[in-house]
Amino acid sequence: MATRHLIIGGGTAGMNAMRTIREEESQRSEVTLVSAERPYSRMVLPYYLDRSIAESHVFTATAKILADWGVKTHLGRRAAALDAKANACTLDDGTKVEYDDCLIATGSSAVRAPVPGSDGPGVHSFWTLDEARGVIAAIKPGSHVVMVGAGFIAFTILNSILSLGAKLTIVEVAPRILPRMVDDAGAKLVEDWLTRHGVTIRTGARLARIEDAKGRRRLRFAGAGDIVCDVVIMATGIKTNLEWLKGAGVTINRGIVVDDHLRSSVPNVYAAGDIAEGRDLISGEGAVHAIEPTAQEHGRVVGANMAGKDVRYRGSLIINIVEVCHLDVASFGAWDDAKADAATGLRADRPAYRKLLFRGDRLTGAIILGRSSDIWAINDVGMLKGLVQSGVSLGRWKEHLKKQPFDVKPAFIASRTTSTLLPETILGRPSKAPGDTPVAV
Amino acid sequence: MRVLRIHPEKCTGCLRCELACSYTQTGTFQPAKSVIRVSPFEGHTSYAPYTCTQCAEGWCMTACPVGAITINAAGAKDVLDDTCVGCKLCTIACPYGTMFYDPDTRKAFKCNLCGGAPACAEACPTAAITYEETATLDWLGDFARERTARVLAGAPGSAS
């Protein structure tokens, strides 16, 4: 009998696993997908919001592709309970799906600030496609939009909101913006840049409640003036979708704890993406990254292992990049490591900032800010990632980089970083192009 | 597969490859839009072109959330303009620093080996860039290490 693989969750991790199973398997298996939503890419929703792409562009698999892949689907259904002892998953309509092995990739969801009125009319999250549709319908040219929360997710839709002709105010409870993506100096530079581009920013702002103001929204704060606006977007964080796994029998810490093959404490149950607590490449510790690149790599590694390969995963690297008003903001690895040997560089004449963090003579983290039009900035983004990812020994180049953090290229090339990186692949073989997935046999 | 082989000791720094590349890729003679970049070494006394190695992993390709990077007939990783949304994930996923982003078109772009007839290799007057059937290698590492020795000579800790 063909092996029965069950994939729970049709996001990045689940879809990468599904494709990799088909790429790697030697015998055709039975693949079942359970997904509450039709598979789409969350990464591209900001481009749907600003109308630069049609809604059809967001989907990562059409019904035809899923049929070509020979995948049995339960779309629009949520997994309600997992019985790892019985190798069975029960869906929210009572359907029971039995498996030989399964992948839990149910991701995370948006959380709203726990204040009165935060679930009322005119208050939105921007995380799922449905939520994106709600925001698209709400924002009109001239609308005043208040974004609650100044983290990465808020910043991914900042350009889109402005390009729709809306006025934008960002309120953040922390004393500064982007608290989990850049350091204080970087945050200050971004804040000044945005203010100059017409965005109003209020930090250290404790939202108390949201009220109706004759059809508009009134935000009340503890110890600061009210803001009246048309649309409120709550970008106040995400939480891992773990509730349905109570009693499933898999070990859960901050996420589902996985080993170096991305197996949970139950060997035939894997976890990947936002829900998995896997190895962080730099610290070596378990971490829930909840970022797209980690979900992609997790998904591919799980897919290969489900297909019978033996792929060990060395860990994932935190990488974030966001562009706001033509300013690129990126950070990698252990950028907030207080014990690292760090060097910074700030250009007085233009918005350009670097922070490089070292342990020994290896680069372990970096922050980079620069204009999108600065070619060197975008090339340096990749090279800094390569230095962190490869962990090459920089030797004397470390001192050079500390003195000249904007002169990355010679350090990268002369440290033979390319030699270290070239043999590296996630699956132990060259990657296949997205369109080359084997289809129905 | 045929790849771009770089012979750094032959490069004169004439930048013809950058002009040829930008013209073929974007229709303008503008080094800023070239995806092969000539770097100076030793205070502009020697030079070397640097571009995408067409690595086996294809970090840019596997990172793309919409499958906008594929492998073309020449075996090169290639951006499909109509599918790319400009999210820049590829620019941060590529560990070689060889993904580019065009703020005018809001698309990523990269070396696609010109579909099998690389303009840089054709334009190079000294055959410092050749298009050959060979395994891709770190063509510049040893050259750069040697040529940068003097830059680093003044750095602290360099006494050894």
Q: What is the DSSP string of A194-218?
A: HHHTT-EEE-S--EEEEEEETTEEE
Average pLDDT, chain A: 95
Contact B89 A293 (CB under 8 A): yes
**What DSSP assignment string belongs to A87-146?**
TEEEETTS-EEE-SEEEE---EEE---SSTTTTSTTEEE-SSHHHHHHHHHH--TT-EEE
Question: Out of A292, A382, A396, whose CB is closest to B94?
Answer: A382
| In the predicted structure, residue A436 carries a pLDDT above the cut 90 | no
Q: What is the pTM of this model?
A: 0.95
Kindly identify which residue of chain B lies nearest to residue A159, measuring between CA atoms. B87
Cα-based torsion angle of the residue sequence A15, A435, A292, A70 in order, rounded to the nearest 10 degrees: 0
Question: Out of B58, B137, B140, whose CB is closest to A413?
Answer: B140
pLDDT of residue B158: 39
User: Which residues, in sequence order, are bridge partners of residue A110?
Assistant: A238
Distance between CA atoms of residues A81 and A91, nearest Å: 7
Quote the minimal CA–CA distance from B77 to chain A in Å: 8
Kindly identify which residue of chain A lies nearest to residue B92, measuring between CA atoms. A382
Neighbouring residues of A199: CB distance < 8 A, sequence distance ≥ 6: A158, A162, A168, A169, A170, A325
- Contact between A127 and A153 (Cβ < 8 Å): yes
Give me A87's structure tokens: 């190798």
Rounded to whole angstroms, what are the CA distances from A236 to A31, A171, B51? 36, 10, 41
The 10 Å Cβ neighbour count of residue A11 is: 26
- Contact between A336 and A50 (Cβ < 8 Å): no
Nearest Cα neighbor of B78 from B28, B114, B24, B37 is B114
Give me the residues of A, 261-290, that contact B with CB < 8 A.
none
- The residue to which tokens 């970049």 are assigned: B37
- Contact between A294 and A316 (Cβ < 8 Å): yes
Quick one: which H or E segment has residue A352?
Answer: strand A352-359
**What DSSP assignment string belongs to A360-423?**
TTEEEEEEEEEETT-HHHHHHHHHHHHHHHHT---TTHHHHHHH-TT--HHHHHHTTHHHHHTT
Contact B57 A403 (CB under 8 A): no
The string of pLDDT tens digits covering residues A239-291 is 999 999 999 999 999 999 999 999 999 999 999 999 999 999 999 999 999 99
Q: Is B157 on the interface with A (CB under 8 A)?
A: yes
Q: Is A253 on the interface with B (CB under 8 A)?
A: no
Nearest Cα neighbor of A74 from A30, A18, A33 is A33
Rounded to whole angstroms, what are the CA distances from A135 to A36, A125, A130, A226? 20, 8, 9, 22
The string of pLDDT tens digits covering residues A324-350 is 999 999 999 999 999 999 999 998 788
Q: Is A382 on the interface with B (CB under 8 A)?
A: yes
Rounded to whole angstroms, what are the CA distances from B39 to A87, A260, B109? 58, 40, 20
Q: Which of B35, B50, B78, B91 to mutate to test the interface with A (most CBs of A within 10 A)?
A: B91
Quote the minimal CA–CA distance from A379 to chain B in Å: 4
- Per-residue DSSP letter, B119: H
What ipTM, to 2 d.p.?
0.95
Kindly identify which residue of chain A lies nearest to residue B110, measuring between CA atoms. A379
pLDDT of residue A327: 94
Q: Is A409 on the interface with B (CB under 8 A)?
A: yes
Model confidence at A435, in pLDDT bands (50, 70, 90)? Answer: confident
| In the predicted structure, residue A437 carries a pLDDT above the cut 80 | no
Q: Which of B92, B107, B136 to mutate to test the interface with A (most CBs of A within 10 A)?
A: B92
**Chain A residues with CB-CB distance to B55 below 8 A:** 421-422
Contact B91 A321 (CB under 8 A): yes
**Chain B residues with CB-CB distance to A399 below 8 A:** 155-158
Long-range contacts of A51-54 (CB under 8 A, 24+ apart): A51/A164, A52/B85, A52/B86, A52/B106, A53/B85
Kindly identify which residue of chain B lies nearest to residue A333, measuring between CA atoms. B92
Model confidence at A386, in pLDDT bands (50, 70, 90)? Answer: very high
Contact A382 B32 (CB under 8 A): no
Give me A166's structure tokens: 């809306």
- Per-residue DSSP letter, A9: -
Q: Is A44 on the interface with B (CB under 8 A)?
A: yes
Nearest Cα neighbor of A328 from B88, B108, B41 is B88
**Tens place of pLDDT per residue across chain B (160 aa):** 999 999 999 999 999 999 999 999 989 999 989 999 999 988 788 999 999 999 999 999 999 999 999 999 999 999 999 999 999 999 999 999 999 998 889 999 999 999 999 999 999 999 999 999 999 999 999 999 998 887 776 554 433 3
Q: Is A412 on the interface with B (CB under 8 A)?
A: yes
Contact A433 B91 (CB under 8 A): no
Q: Is B150 on the interface with A (CB under 8 A)?
A: no
pLDDT of residue A290: 93
Give me the residues of B, 92-121, that contact A with CB < 8 A.
92-101, 103, 106
One-letter amino acid for residue A270 of the chain: Y
**Chain A residues with CB-CB distance to B47 below 8 A:** none
Contact A433 B87 (CB under 8 A): no
Cα-based torsion angle of the residue sequence B54, B59, B60, B63 in order, rounded to the nearest 10 degrees: 160
Quote the minimal CA–CA distance from B122 to chain A in Å: 24
pLDDT of residue B152: 77
Neighbouring residues of B55: CB distance < 8 A, sequence distance ≥ 6: A421, A422, B96, B136
Contact B39 A385 (CB under 8 A): no
Mean pLDDT, rounded, for A34-50: 96
Q: Is A403 on the interface with B (CB under 8 A)?
A: yes
Contact A399 B157 (CB under 8 A): yes
| In the predicted structure, residue A375 carries a pLDDT above the cut 80 | no
Phi-psi map region of A326: left, alpha, beta (phi>0 left; psi -120 to 50 alpha): left
| In the predicted structure, residue A391 carries a pLDDT above the cut 60 | yes
Q: Which of A368, A379, A413 to mutate to test the interface with B (most CBs of B within 10 A)?
A: A413
Q: Is A155 on the interface with B (CB under 8 A)?
A: no
- Contact between A148 and A132 (Cβ < 8 Å): no
Q: Residue A185 in 3-state DSSP?
A: helix
| In the predicted structure, residue A35 carries a pLDDT above the cut 70 | yes
Q: Residue B89 in 3-state DSSP?
A: helix
Distance between CA atoms of residues A263 and A312, nearest Å: 11
pLDDT of residue B153: 64
Contact A396 B157 (CB under 8 A): yes
The string of pLDDT tens digits covering residues A155-189 is 999 999 999 999 999 999 999 999 999 999 999 99
Q: Is A53 on the interface with B (CB under 8 A)?
A: yes
| Bigger pLDDT: A1 vs A280 | A280
Contact B138 A416 (CB under 8 A): yes
Mean pLDDT, rounded, for A206-219: 97
pLDDT of residue B145: 92
pLDDT of residue B157: 44
Burial class (CB in 10 A: 0-12, 13-18, 19+), B97: buried
pLDDT of residue A439: 55
Quick one: which H or E segment has residue B90?
Answer: helix B89-93
Distance between CA atoms of residues B75 and B113, nearest Å: 8
Give me the residues of B, 59-78, that contact A with CB < 8 A.
61-67, 69-71
Mean pLDDT, rounded, for A112-129: 96
Q: Is B155 on the interface with A (CB under 8 A)?
A: yes
Contact B155 A390 (CB under 8 A): no
Long-range contacts of A68-71 (CB under 8 A, 24+ apart): A68/A439, A68/A440, A69/A18, A69/A19, A69/A22, A69/A31, A69/A437, A69/A439, A69/A440, A70/A22, A70/A28, A70/A31, A70/A439, A70/A440, A70/A441, A71/A18, A71/A31, A71/A32, A71/A33
Q: HSE on the CB side for A81, CA within 13 Å?
A: 10
Neighbouring residues of B45: CB distance < 8 A, sequence distance ≥ 6: none
pLDDT of residue A214: 95
- Contact between A4 and A29 (Cβ < 8 Å): yes
